[in-house]
Structure 1
């Protein structure tokens, strides 16, 4: 069933608000609102964004969900059918969306600054919309938005990490092929392009800002209120073969990320996937949102959600095969053999860290 869509002007920004057809206006169920953002050069109308939003609704409202006591809306910017700054009708200079290149027509010496300012600007836009969307959607107080979440792909994934670290009202984040450590990501890219980590490519004032405000510079390992991620529910989806945003740039941060007893951290690194939002990633996102709507924090954290420990785990595990048995200094795994209803067998890697699954989706 296709979600319904309405377009609203909010302080000069046009946003598309998606809802499920069964979420009738007369309902008084509380609302969970999820922002979902696309990647650089892409559009909110690109098929992978449309498909992901549909999968999220299909999983959240599908059979087996049980009695639903909360409803979901998904919000996407639709300025010129683009969402990020310097895109669509907000486009100021297309050249400033490019990266470093040997081709003069495609080169942008300010790539490091431009990409980060778009990410931080998008995070600010999300906070602005959290302030004001309820007044436009429910001017007479018909419904109440009780929780906010954010997800995004590539550039949208980078922005999700920044917004999670800055906006306390965001309780859920789904960064897809995004990176929380900007300097690890951009320094690798600079090195491959023979760009020095110094002015004018990396201005001193810019480096000072990143060192103070980037998620990787915050107290993300702490178990007290100094950690902006504490208590949040985070699903990290990455491709093992991603060359543009390699998993190695995110791994140290994600492994060390502390979300506390009330938080949830789940990580899926998909073997064989490059810089793409795969069908497996879309389904993981949909299941995570479904749990956000219906499950307790304990159910979200339950390791069997990641592995083939029960019927639900087996259904989800049947889409994963060809596991990469990566092993770090303090990481240990044991194999769990499973077989789905079609007779296709595979192995899942169970880590001591219950938040990590490494595998690849089986194409049916």
Structure 2
């Protein structure tokens, strides 16, 4: 995946060390005047909305990739917004576990084809680690921003029930998109909007089809493997070594929860897929996405013809056009 062209001088960048994770936050300077404007509000204020877009990079990438996207999305967001007074948008990036500055063993980010027999375990455990890291950052970022200090004592006296309402937006790419789905499954009440790109809601089927090298056109590829017991997978001894029974029980339970109980009516979604994606085929998520669109009128799913496992300018452009209408 390419690094998007961007102007690093266009928006501010600050760095916080949150729980040992280097966390980069963009465009925070717009928050001061926005929040101070509430000090002079003639009406009672209950909520001060703060839009925060968390960008979660792909396997093999690092925060430099999502940093370029942060600048690109911010530029498009402010350019496209027609509101006289635009609600600020800030972006957050960080290196995922075993990536970038947090790299420990590069080989453990590889798949089965490239010789990593622990691919399934490594990928899924890293996803859940990313979920935990994102929750940590989301919990503590408001304290590092210290936005309460921008409001006067008079405002706080006059508005007894005011509160900052962080509208968290999760934008993930490939591995990052897998992380988005898992995060919402764990913490649905913390998320306002999701933007999964070339991701998969059904990791059981993704990994089992990848392990068994099932053809996209085969009947087996259409199966929801999370509904199958471990014995029903009919794995060889070698395949069982690569995909242990305990992993299948843990992973398939999550996949079933996401497939059947995801809060589609509460969380707005803009998803994007490459029509020719062979690594994370869109068909694994197609039924789920159709259900989402039938449940939530604010949902859009974009499938780009002629594109494989990639994030394109058009995917980002369409997402930002949708975002300015939704916020």
Whose strand proportion is higher, 1 or 2? 1
**1:176–1:63: structure 2 CA closer, same or farther, 3 Å change rule?**
closer
- How far did residue 11 of structure 1 move? 1.3
**1:166 aligned to 186, 207, 218, which one?**
186
- Is the contact made by 1:230 and 1:259 (CA closer than 8 Å) also made in structure 2? no
- How far did residue 199 of structure 1 move? 2.4
After TM superposition, the structure 1 stretch with the greater mean CA deviation from structure 2, 63-72 or 132-141, is: 63-72
**1:212 aligned to 244, 250, 253, which one?**
253
Name structure 2 gaps, 5 residues minimum.
1-6, 36-47, 152-163, 216-234
**1:70 aligned to 76, 87, 96, which one?**
87
- How far did residue 273 of structure 1 move? 0.8
Give distance in 2, aligned partners of 1:150 and 1:67.
26
Give distance in 2, aligned partners of 1:290 and 1:192.
41
SS at match of 2:251: helix
Per-residue CA distance 1:304-327 (angstroms, 9 max, x = gap):
xxxxxxxxxxxxxxxxxxxxxxxx
- How far did residue 76 of structure 1 move? 0.2
2:318 maps to 1:284:
yes
- How far did residue 220 of structure 1 move? 4.2
Give distance in 1, aligned partners of 2:316 and 2:170.
14
Give distance in 1, aligned partners of 2:252 and 2:185.
14
Per-residue CA distance 1:275-310 (angstroms, 9 max, x = gap):
1111100112212322232xxxxxxxxxxxxxxxxx
**1:67–1:73: structure 2 CA closer, same or farther, 3 Å change rule?**
same
- How far did residue 205 of structure 1 move? 1.2
- Is the contact made by 1:231 and 1:259 (CA closer than 8 Å) also made in structure 2? no
TM-score by length of 1: 0.69
**1:41 aligned to 51, 57, 60, which one?**
60
Name structure 1 gaps, 5 residues minimum.
78-82, 294-364
Report 1:3-82 matches (<5 A): 3-19=11-27, 23=30, 25-28=32-35, 30-46=49-65, 49-62=66-79, 64-77=81-94
Whose helix proportion is higher, 1 or 2? 2
**2:132 aligned to 124, 129, 137, which one?**
124
- Is the contact made by 2:177 and 2:196 (CA closer than 8 Å) also made in structure 1? yes
**1:94 aligned to 101, 106, 130, which one?**
106
Report 1:77-226 matches (<5 A): 77=94, 83-101=95-113, 106-138=114-146, 140-142=148-150, 144-167=164-187, 168-192=189-213, 196=236, 198-214=239-255, 217-218=256-257, 220-221=259-260, 226=261
Per-residue CA distance 1:158-206 (angstroms, 9 max, x = gap):
1111112222211110001111110121122112299859522111111
- How far did residue 253 of structure 1 move? 2.0
- How far did residue 153 of structure 1 move? 1.0
Determine which structure has greater relative contact order: mean sequence separation of CA pairs < 8 Å that are 6+ residues apart, divided by chain length: 2
How many residues align structurally? 274
